[in-house]
Amino acid sequence: MDHHIVPVELQKAYRLLNHGPTVLVSASHEGVENVMSAAWSCALDFAPPKVTLVLDKATATRPLVEKSGYFVLQVPNMAQLQLTYDVGHTSANDTPDKLAKAGVRLFRVEGYEVPLVAGSSAWLICKVLPEPRNEQVYDLFIGEVVAAYADDRVFQNGHWAFEKADPRWRSLHYIAGGNFYAIGEAVVADTNKT
Amino acid sequence: MDHHIVPVELQKAYRLLNHGPTVLVSASHEGVENVMSAAWSCALDFAPPKVTLVLDKATATRPLVEKSGYFVLQVPNMAQLQLTYDVGHTSANDTPDKLAKAGVRLFRVEGYEVPLVAGSSAWLICKVLPEPRNEQVYDLFIGEVVAAYADDRVFQNGHWAFEKADPRWRSLHYIAGGNFYAIGEAVVADTNKT
């Protein structure tokens, strides 16, 4: 594993998603691996940390999540702009070599079968908390974060450091039609006023 | 109503939240009004548009949402940085004049009882789709967006225009401890590659 990839304390894992980045979702089952992008993912709880994720029934990733009970949310960055768009706009159902075409490289961490996308800024390994009604009616999955990692070039001492890191590390925030915004400048509210 | 506030087609309402901004949540019941901030809100569906929102049981806003069946998500901006922090870090349970102290001005649109926060960049009026298990177990509320509006100085022709608008209109993305990021530069993926 890249020596820049460091564990994130679980009680601070929510911070990896708190600013609303578009994420990459990875999963695998019986040797089949897939990655897709998702703008509709969100923190749900602090401790134990939980997340929500919308997974359309048409995606090839969803059955991998359902069968394995695990998914990974990774926070992609500017250097992964085209990759993030590409894995969100091709399906392994139509393009079996989708991951190779998009330039996705996968790796694993000890203790988990689920693959992680190399080059991302952060990774949250999530175990599905089965909620059949949410999954069927709303395509909404709930996961408990069981492990979290970040690249220490952009996440340091429990905080994002976008303002200090190279711009290639900025997170991506999707709108539509290939149009994203990168995360911008740090701004601080007066915490003593109230 | 301010002449800059224009309706957003419901099928494009998801775009107002797609980039993951921190939101202001407003609600009212029997003359009691409240506003809080929330980082954990997310789009859930396109048509009809739906959203998720995490509302802790300790908030004073939650019972207003439960009793009235409505809430508004508004997308605040840099000009509302301190307001956004303040309404997220004081509770009307302890500080009855919280809204006045934070400088919140409310207005209404025809057809709805629920109040909107003036000066925001966008507004999504949401009707609660009751899901008692989600609400009790996860503090997770699902709303259908029944009306949406945006300020035409920052949202034009169905698209955010952060890169063209004055920086005061940039959306806010909360991390922790008073630290936010403003949304940054527009970046575009090649949509013809795949």
A147 to chain B, minimum CA–CA distance in Å? 19
**B170-188 pLDDT, tens digit each:** 999 999 999 999 999 999 9
Spell out which residues of chain A touch residue B15, defining contact as CB-CB under 8 Å. Answer: 175-176
Query: Is 90 exceeded by the pLDDT of residue B136?
Result: yes
Beta sheet of A179-188, edge-to-edge order = A172-176, A179-188, B179-188, B172-176
Partner A, chain B 2-31, Cβ-Cβ below 8 Å: 15, 18-22
B145 CB near a chain A CB, below 8 Å?
A: no
Residue A46 is assigned to a structural domain of this protein: yes
- Domain span at residue A113? 5-182
B58 CB near a chain A CB, below 8 Å?
A: no
Spell out which residues of chain A touch residue B194, defining contact as CB-CB under 8 Å. Answer: 85-86, 89-90, 95, 101-102
CA-closest candidate to residue A121, choices A183, A65, A68, A59: A183
Query: Is 80 exceeded by the pLDDT of residue A1?
Result: no
Query: Is 70 exceeded by the pLDDT of residue B74?
Result: yes
Give the per-residue pLDDT at A2: 84
pLDDT band, residue A194 (cuts 50/70/90):
low
Task: Look at B193 and A82 and tell me if their CB atoms are within 8 Å.
Answer: yes
Residue A169 is assigned to a structural domain of this protein: yes
List the beta bridge partners of residue A124: A73, A148
Task: Look at A181 and B162 and tell me if their CB atoms are within 8 Å.
Answer: yes
In this predicted complex, what is the ipTM? 0.96
Residue A173 is assigned to a structural domain of this protein: yes
Q: Residue A39 is part of a domain; what is its CATH number?
A: 2.30.110.10
Indicate the DSSP class of residue A147: E
Residue A193 is assigned to a structural domain of this protein: no
Residue A189 is assigned to a structural domain of this protein: no
pLDDT above 70 as % of chain B: 99
Residue B17 is assigned to a structural domain of this protein: yes
The pLDDT mean for chain B works out to: 97
Residue A190 is assigned to a structural domain of this protein: no
Strand-pair category, A116-117 with A106-107: antiparallel
How many domains in chain A?
1
List the beta bridge partners of residue A179: A176, B188
Ramachandran region of residue B20, left (φ > 0), alpha (ψ -120 to 50) or beta? left
Nearest to A173 among B19, B131, B194 (CB): B19
pLDDT, mean of residues A136-142: 98
pLDDT, mean of residues A106-123: 98
Residue B194 is assigned to a structural domain of this protein: no
